[in-house]
Amino acid sequence: MKKRAVLSLIAAGAMVASLAACSGGSGDSGSGEGGGAIIGVAMPTKSSERWIADGNAVKKALEDQGYKVDLQYAEDDIPTQVSQIENMITKGAEALIVASIDGTTLTNILADAKDAEIPVIAYDRLLMDTEDVDYYATFDNQLVGNQQAWSVLNGLGLTELDGTPIEGAPAGPFNIELFAGSLDDNNAFFFFNGAMEIFQPFIDNGTLVVKSGQTTIEQAATLRWDGETAQSRMEDLLTANYSDNSKVNAVLSPYDGISRGIIGALTDAGYTTGEGWPIISGQDAEIDSVKAINNGEQYATIFKDTRELAKKAAGMAIAALNGDTVETNDDSTYNNNKKDVPSYLLEPVIVVKDNIQKELIDTGYWTEKEVNG
Ligand code: BGC
């Protein structure tokens, strides 16, 4: 980055170089080091530790390149997020990195960013219904959904973690209940559809039975990914469908915070870990859920290395504001109802008890002490 910018300065000639020097070398002057230019980073909430880790990692990646960072959390309140972004624009941010609360609510403020020629990177969650988003950094969200389903099937002894059928697998039937994320988050659809495309043949042949009959994303949704909301839906599902001495054998959960709500409801209903405890999926490798995997309450989580996502998004923002080529690897999957948003997708990883050490501790994501202490 630095080298490229220096070369372009040389190519542009001494006059331009000296002008750039006089201007104090702001981010888009091509100094290659941020030179104090501000980049605004809008995050949804501190109530989930993944977003705290994301925010810190993006901030560090940008500061390492000499940028100033205006990092804001909106505590899942949409007007707060809108005014935070407004402030960033007013304060002269030269690029925006936005993880939205509700991807459809930022259209007006993003139009203001466009008018001010500020490039916008959607972070993890797609910004919907707007032309005014330039790039998208995320994980392969359909694959996340596939992996959540495979982890459940693996826990039931039906497939390997990559979905390969296990010979002599039990015939079932297994009772399963389904949870989805927040309907205002485009990712929720990718996760749920990705899981259902894997489950459907098992539902069709009777191996999996959704006893409640609640199989649509609208029925399974959890507003704002809230654990307590999930807990009370799980309580209702148990009361309405499992009061006849039948047991739920598996629960599809799209996020660790939701999994913890489900675990709470099961415990309150008298389920105990060990035999007869359901297989539960998750996402984000939050520390409490990694511990829950270790002690057998949760079967799996999907690890998305936020450090990598942060680096990618920071790199995209810097390249975009400097007019450099922004690297993408999927320009056709993520349509936001206005356009296909050029995207960079990272690879998620399934974590079960056996690979906590390799994926989470050896990579430094969590320390041994955090996991086992
Ligand atoms: C993210 C997930 C996260 C969820 C709840 C989604 O947009 O992709 O990683 O679990 O939001 O915060």
Distance 212 CA to ligand 1 centre (A): 25
- Using a 6 Å cutoff on CB, does residue 343 contact ligand 1? no
- Using a 6 Å cutoff on CB, does residue 125 contact ligand 1? yes
Amino acid making up residue 275:
E
CA distance 347 to 324: 25
- Using a 6 Å cutoff on CB, does residue 283 contact ligand 1? yes
Could you tell me where the DSSP H helices lie in 208-255? 217-220, 227-241
CA distance 63 to 65: 5
Number of residues in the chain: 373
Q: Are 181 and 254 in contact (CB under 8 A)?
A: yes
- Using a 6 Å cutoff on CB, does residue 305 contact ligand 1? no
Instruction: Please report the atom of ligand 1 found closest to the CA of residue 48.
Output: 12
Domain boundaries, the chain: 3-133+305-346, 141-304+353-359+365-372
Predicted confidence band of residue 340 (pLDDT cuts 50, 70, 90): very high
- Using a 6 Å cutoff on CB, does residue 48 contact ligand 1? yes
pLDDT tens digits, residue range 112-121? 999 999 999 9
pLDDT of residue 34: 74
**Model confidence at 7: pLDDT above 50:** no
Q: Are 144 and 194 in contact (CB under 8 A)?
A: yes
**Model confidence at 105: pLDDT above 70:** yes
Which 3 state secondary structure label does DSSP give 301? Answer: strand
Full-model pTM: 0.90
**Model confidence at 320: pLDDT above 90:** yes
Q: Are 317 and 121 in contact (CB under 8 A)?
A: yes
Instruction: Please report the atom of ligand 1 found closest to the CA of residue 302.
Output: 9
Domain topology for 3-133+305-346? Rossmann fold (3.40.50)
Percent of the chain with pLDDT over 90: 89
- Using a 6 Å cutoff on CB, does residue 132 contact ligand 1? no
Q: How far is CA 161 from CA 152, 335, 349, 355, in A?
A: 9, 29, 10, 12
Pocket mutation for ligand 1, best pick of 46, 102, 255, 298 (most atoms within 8 Å of C-beta): 255
pLDDT-wise least confident of 5-19, 64-78, 99-113, 221-235: 5-19
Distance 156 CA to ligand 1 centre (A): 25
CA distance 303 to 318: 26
Average pLDDT for residues 215-231, to the nearest whole number?
97
pLDDT of residue 35: 77
Instruction: Please report the atom of ligand 1 found closest to the CA of residue 187.
Output: 7
- DSSP codes joined into one string, 320-351: HHTTPPPP-SBSSS-B-SS-BPPEEEEPPEEE
**Model confidence at 315: pLDDT above 90:** yes
Smallest CA-to-CA distance from 5 within 27, 36, 32 is with 32
pLDDT tens digits, residue range 149-173? 999 999 999 999 999 999 999 998 9
What angle is formed at CA 365 by the lines to CA 359 and CA 370, rounded to 5 degrees? 105
Average pLDDT for residues 72-93, to the nearest whole number?
97
- Using a 6 Å cutoff on CB, does residue 179 contact ligand 1? no
Same fold, 3-133+305-346 and 141-304+353-359+365-372: yes
Exposed e or buried b per residue across 215-235, where buried means at least 16 C-beta atoms within 10 angstroms of its C-beta:
eebeebbbebbbbebbbebbb
Q: In whole numbers, what is the pLDDT of the chain averaged over residues?
A: 92
Cis geometry, peptide bond prior to residue 119 (ω within 30 degrees of 0) = no
Average pLDDT for residues 6-29, to the nearest whole number?
38
CA distance 337 to 340: 8
Percent of the chain with pLDDT over 70: 91
Residue owning tokens 């008298």: 270
Q: Are 247 and 276 in contact (CB under 8 A)?
A: yes
**Residue 78: exposure state from Cβ atoms within 10 A (0-12, 13-18, ≥19):** middle
Average pLDDT for residues 57-84, to the nearest whole number?
97
Which is the CATH superfamily of the domain at 141-304+353-359+365-372?
Answer: Response regulator (3.40.50.2300)
120-123 and 208-209 strand pairing: unpaired
CA distance 370 to 373: 5
- Using a 6 Å cutoff on CB, does residue 73 contact ligand 1? no
Distance 311 CA to ligand 1 centre (A): 18
Average pLDDT for residues 245-269, to the nearest whole number?
97
- Using a 6 Å cutoff on CB, does residue 185 contact ligand 1? yes
Q: Is the dihedral of CA 117, 123, 129, 134 positive or negative?
A: positive
CA distance 107 to 167: 51
Distance 164 CA to ligand 1 centre (A): 27
Predicted confidence band of residue 32 (pLDDT cuts 50, 70, 90): low
